[in-house]
Amino acid sequence: MTQSPAPAPQPPAAPATFHVYDTTLRDGAQQEGINLSVADKLAIAPMLDALGVGFIEGGWPGAVPKDTEFFKRAAKELDLRNAELAAFGATRKAGVRATDDPLVRALLDSEAPVVTLVAKSDVRHVERALRTTPDEGLAMIQDTVRFLAREGRRVFVDAEHFFDGFRYDPGFSRRAVVAAFEAGAEVVALCDTNGGMLPDWVRDVVADVRAAVGPHAVLGMHAHNDSGCAVANTLAAVDAGCVHVQGTVNGYGERTGNADLLSVVANLELKLGRPVLAREPGGPGGLAELTRIAHAISEITNISPFARQPYVGASAFAHKAGLHASAIKVDPDLYQHTDPELVGNDMRMLVSDMAGRASIELKGRQLGIDLAAHPDVLSRVTNRVKDAEANGYTYEAADASFELLLVEELEGARPAYFRVESWRTIVERNGSRGAAATAEATVKLHAGGERVVRTGEGNGPVDALDHALRLALTRVYPELEDFELIDFKVRILDQMQGTDAVTRVLIESTDGQTSWSTVGVGPNLIEASWEALTDSAIWGLRNRGVAPR
């Protein structure tokens, strides 16, 4: 007999407030390899605002000159609709009055409406890193919070190393949080600074603190991802009563990063039914912007998007296995945890040797080719793909070559834009030391009812072949003048099915509007490249609606 699941435990009563606090521009910028200019920060902030976060932590004014400049310019140049800017900084130094601490003063000077103070809440850090007493550690928190609150700032406190500290000496860590609230802090975010917590540990500690501070105190969570649990830890904290979540876009951050705020908000909204992003009614923004903003920000950080990133990655809704595709054909929900459109992403079908007929049918549909009424074609294409992949081809990154294969099986032949008679290449280098090699290629083909022979030059044999092919075809197909080769990848595949190594070439081309990828395989680089180059020309012409001449 099936047992009904136990009712989920109810979260403790908590304030209606819920904060989404982004720290991409501060903690995200602490990631190795990220270096954001003031202009970069000014470009990212409006994207975060459009996403609907409530707070944007812009950096540490006074400590980092670029951040001082950011707050100065942000006040004049940014027109934020949803978010408030937060300036990050530390509590006063030991033995110094808050009013006399230049870094505390710099927080005021930033004119940010919110100030977030990092405060030591692990007694070991107070004694060993600050080299002071627990009482002075608590006084540093209280004095700084009180001073800034009196100056009219909303004060948030990041309780640094809270979880490690709590597991070592819960009494001191609790007192640090209570001290911050008593002094006027509006939020205390409990930080897993070293990122090593697990969700159950977080839940227990947050529940303890929640009981100590009462149901109305705004507790937050700031998680790092060193145990791979930052998002889960953030959700566990919410479950236990946190109503303020911190994180960074794409999970950027020190070491292994912070909680990916995009996953956090998607999970809160889609899985837990908590609308947490601000949205203008009927307007853009919110979750539907998630994928676009993730990629736009990765352009600015110059960190390649992570394909397997939950919700927003290129592979997040990409399906490869044949069995998955056959169920998806019936209902996409059978193999997807959520609808990709809700987060602005797309479902993609990947064609490979793991494809079955359903994968090919769905891929055809995605390419605008309905194969439902052609079971014979589906079987032939499936078999051809499996054979070709066993011989070194890969179609999941070469949609254009796959489409040509499909058209060939459907229409009985490839589009006959030209017929190749032969081609050859020569690489030449004179005997002088340091002289560069040059390449020349000759292509003989038939197009537009004529035999055409053309020679092209290039800095290598593939470049020369590309030039010769264009020279031979552009009189008949002037559209080719817009085509450009934008990426070229080579891989040597050893011992395919007991044969010698083969070479696989993947080419990406563009006509300025569309880009497409083709694949070629051969016993050497030149033959593989020729196949990918000719596929590229054929697909590009067909896509433009050009008829064979």
Interaction of residue 158 with ligand CC(=O)C(=O)O, rule CB under 6 A: yes
Q: Which is nearer to ligand ACO, 80 or 130 (CB)?
A: 130
Selected binder of ligand CC(=O)C(=O)O within 18, 20, 24, 27 (CB under 6 A): 27
Shortest Å, Cβ 311 to ligand ACO: 26
Residue 504, CB half-sphere, CA atoms under 13 Å: how many? Answer: 20
Site string for ligand CC(=O)C(=O)O, 328-367 (x = CB under 6 A): ----------------------------------------
Shortest Å, Cβ 21 to ligand CC(=O)C(=O)O: 11
Contacts of 222 (CB under 8 A, 6+ apart): 23, 27, 158, 189, 190, 191, 192, 193, 246, 258, 259
Torsion-angle region of 96 (φ positive above 0: left; ψ -120 to 50: alpha; else: beta): beta
Contact positions with ligand ACO (CB under 6 A) in 9-48: none
Interaction of residue 222 with ligand CC(=O)C(=O)O, rule CB under 6 A: yes
Selected binder of ligand ACO within 90, 221, 245, 316 (CB under 6 A): 90
In degrees and rounded to multiples of 5, residue 205 shows phi and psi of -70, -45
Edge to edge, the sheet with strand 419-428 lists 419-428, 438-447, 450-458
**Interface size with ligand CC(=O)C(=O)O, residues (CB under 6 A):** 8
Shortest Å, Cβ 185 to ligand CC(=O)C(=O)O: 14
Contacts of 535 (CB under 8 A, 6+ apart): 400, 401, 404, 518, 519, 520
Residue 227, CB half-sphere, CA atoms under 13 Å: how many? Answer: 18
Q: Which is nearer to ligand CC(=O)C(=O)O, 188 or 362 (CB)?
A: 188
Interaction of residue 53 with ligand ACO, rule CB under 6 A: no
Shortest Å, Cβ 114 to ligand ACO: 16
Residue 465 in tokens? 């072949």
Interaction of residue 317 with ligand ACO, rule CB under 6 A: no
In degrees and rounded to multiples of 5, residue 477 shows phi and psi of -125, 80
Q: Quote the CA–CA distance of 515 and 528 in Å, as a whole number.
A: 20
Residue 401 in tokens? 């070559």
The answer to whether 339 and 331 are in contact (CB under 8 A) is: no
Selected binder of ligand ACO within 11, 34, 43, 64 (CB under 6 A): 64
Place of tokens 């947490």: 276
Contact positions with ligand CC(=O)C(=O)O (CB under 6 A) in 171-210: 191, 193
Task: Provide the residue type at 249 as one letter.
Answer: V
Shortest Å, Cβ 216 to ligand CC(=O)C(=O)O: 24
Selected binder of ligand ACO within 12, 66, 72, 93 (CB under 6 A): 93
Angstrom CA distances, 230 to 51, 226, 356, stand at 21, 8, 37
Q: Quote the CA–CA distance of 220 and 1 in Å, as a whole number.
A: 42
Q: Quote the CA–CA distance of 86 and 77 in Å, as a whole number.
A: 16
Buried b (16+ CB within 10 A) or exposed e, 463-488: bbbbbbbbbbbeebbebbeebebeeb
Interaction of residue 230 with ligand ACO, rule CB under 6 A: no
Selected binder of ligand ACO within 68, 91, 110, 258 (CB under 6 A): 91
Shortest Å, Cβ 135 to ligand ACO: 15
Task: Provide the residue type at 142 as one letter.
Answer: Q
Interaction of residue 119 with ligand ACO, rule CB under 6 A: yes
Q: Quote the CA–CA distance of 420 and 423 in Å, as a whole number.
A: 8
Selected binder of ligand ACO within 110, 193, 345, 536 (CB under 6 A): 193
Selected binder of ligand CC(=O)C(=O)O within 22, 160, 186, 289 (CB under 6 A): 160
Task: Choose the contact partner of 222 out of ligand ACO, ligand CC(=O)C(=O)O, none; CB within 5 to 8 A by kind.
Answer: ligand CC(=O)C(=O)O
Shortest Å, Cβ 173 to ligand CC(=O)C(=O)O: 13
- Under DSSP, the state recorded for 449 is T
Interaction of residue 114 with ligand CC(=O)C(=O)O, rule CB under 6 A: no
Selected binder of ligand ACO within 41, 120, 175, 348 (CB under 6 A): 120
| Stretch in the footprint of ligand ACO (CB under 6 A) among 57-65, 147-155, 194-202, 276-284 | 57-65
Selected binder of ligand CC(=O)C(=O)O within 44, 118, 355, 469 (CB under 6 A): 118
Residue 309 in tokens? 């990133």
Interaction of residue 130 with ligand ACO, rule CB under 6 A: yes
Q: Which is nearer to ligand CC(=O)C(=O)O, 158 or 289 (CB)?
A: 158
| Stretch in the footprint of ligand ACO (CB under 6 A) among 118-126, 200-208, 294-302, 448-456 | 118-126
E strands in 216-299? 218-223, 244-247
Q: Quote the CA–CA distance of 331 and 406 in Å, as a whole number.
A: 24
Binding site for ligand CC(=O)C(=O)O (CB under 6 A): 27, 118, 158, 160, 191, 193, 222, 224
